[in-house]
Amino acid sequence: MGYQNIIVDKDTITTITINRPSKLNALNKQTIEELHKALKKAEKNDTVKVIIITGSGEKAFVAGADISEFANFSVKEGGKLAAKGQELLFDFIEHLSKPVIAAVNGFALGGGLELAMACHFRIASDNAKMGLPEVSLGVIPGYGGTQRLPQLVGKGRAMEMIMTAGMIDANTAKEYGLVNHVVSLDQLLETTNSIADKIIRNSSVAIAQAINAVNANYEDGVDGYDVEIESFGHCFGTEDFKEGTTAFLEKRKANFPGK
């Protein structure tokens, strides 16, 4: 089945473009489901090593969850919306075993910023604007924003951003540690791809273990050091480890089998 709201450019570095420009790429139910499906496929496909998520057009990455879809929801429906979205998309991305990079090409508001924050890291274009405006609608961030924003920018800044419902520009986001790099819009995908190029030279098996170990730092009741020890040990049983260490000792570039 083809996708209606996303474009998937499948390759070693796969780019997924959210494509509802007339609605500033707002995340409706169908878009969330399509993203889930595409990410699941990319994770299973051995040739895919890195995934980039971006928005179509020059104005928005994603301007939030689609407000028109939930404006009449009940308490129960509201809770379900957040739970389902977190499960299908936001937590799913955070725990994906392959690197997911957000290329933030414009407004990243509400669910859009939450989507960018669920990715493993973020690159922004200099026209990008980021914020969690939910309290201006009488609601709070429901796709992990109250948890991931303080992790990335610190509690005080997160509280201010959430309470004021304001937007910050790309350079402020960089100063806050919310994005790693700021480049011009026409350089955004090139820069993101060049970072992805560096990633794909390394062991994908080790990267999957690293994602798991870093995430463990943010999980309740989990000792990240224990997870690191286990993941570190796991690497010693992989073909990538044999290749990486052998290549170093033989003074040649490693050619990782990804196993």
66 binds ligand COA (CB under 6 A): yes
114 binds ligand COA (CB under 6 A): no
Piece of 48-56, 109-117, 173-181, 238-246 that binds ligand COA (CB under 6 A): 109-117
Contacts of 62 (CB under 8 A, 6+ apart): 18, 24, 25, 26, 27, 55, 107, 108, 109, 111, 112, 115, 116
85 binds ligand COA (CB under 6 A): no
**Host H or E run for residue 245:** helix 239-249
Report the C-alpha gap between 215 and 223 in whole angstroms: 11
Closer residue to ligand COA (CB): 138 or 221: 138
Residue 226, both tokens: 């224990």
Residue 155, both tokens: 């509690």
Q: Which segments within 89-165 are labelled E, that is strand?
A: 100-104, 107-109, 121-125, 129-131
| Among residues 109, 119, 130, 210, the one that binds ligand COA under rule CB under 6 A | 109
Closer residue to ligand COA (CB): 99 or 106: 106
| Among residues 4, 68, 171, 184, the one that binds ligand COA under rule CB under 6 A | 68
34 binds ligand COA (CB under 6 A): no
26 binds ligand COA (CB under 6 A): yes
Closer residue to ligand COA (CB): 62 or 213: 62
Considering 34, 58, 87, 114, which one is annotated as catalytic? 114
171 binds ligand COA (CB under 6 A): no
Closer residue to ligand COA (CB): 89 or 210: 89
Report the C-alpha gap between 182 and 101 in whole angstroms: 14
Alpha-carbon Rg for the chain, nearest whole angstrom, is: 19
Is 114 a residue of the active site? yes
- For residue 199, with 0-12 CB atoms within 10 Å meaning exposed, 13-18 middle and 19 or more buried, which class applies? middle
- Strand-pair partners of 169: 129
With contact defined as beta carbons under 8 Å apart, do 162 and 136 qualify? no
144 binds ligand COA (CB under 6 A): no
| Among residues 67, 152, 200, 235, the one that binds ligand COA under rule CB under 6 A | 67
Interface residues with ligand COA (CB under 6 A) are: 23-24, 26, 63-68, 107, 109-111, 133-134, 137
**Residues assigned a catalytic role:** 114, 134
